[in-house]
Structure 1
C-alpha cells in the first residue's frame, strides 16, 4: 500500500483520489478481514459495472483476481483500507480504477 488523499469533488459529487508518492509498504490482512469490491476486475463476471453496493469476496478470491491483472493495470488500482490496533487490514472496502 501507499497512502493517498481522498477529497470530495463538489463539481461532480464524487470522491477525488490523489495518489501518494514514494515507496510501497506491505500490510497484512487479518484472518477475518472483509473484502468488498465495487469495480469490476477482469475475469470477474460477478461484479458487473454500475453496481451501487459492493460485493463481498473471500481473501482467496480477491488474491486470485488480483494476480490475473496486468502489472500496469494493477499499479493504478486503489483501495480504501481499515486497520485494527495491530496494523492489520480488517476491511478492504472499495476497489477503484483511476
Structure 2
C-alpha cells in the first residue's frame, strides 16, 4: 500500500494509466481526493500496486516528482522462490 501526493501540473497527468501501460502494474485505488487550493489542484491517493515491476513503477513516480510513501508491501509466493534473491522496495519521499 502506498500514498501518492501531487500538486499543480502533476494533477493533469494520467499517472495510473501510465503505470499500467509502462510497467504492467495494476493500480487499486483505495481512497483519494483532489482539491483546488488557490489556483492549484492538489491531491493524494491511497493505492495498492500489484505486478512484477512495482519497484520500477515507484522509481518512475519518484523521478516524476510525485510524493510517494510506501506503507506496506503484499508478500507474494514468487518472493520466496529464489532464496538468494532479495526483494527490495525503495521508499521514495
Q: TM-score range by the shorter chain?
A: under 0.3
Q: Which of the pair is proportionally richer in helix?
A: 2
TM-score by length of 1: 0.26
TM-score by length of 2: 0.27
Higher RCO (CA 8 Å, separation ≥ 6 residues): 2
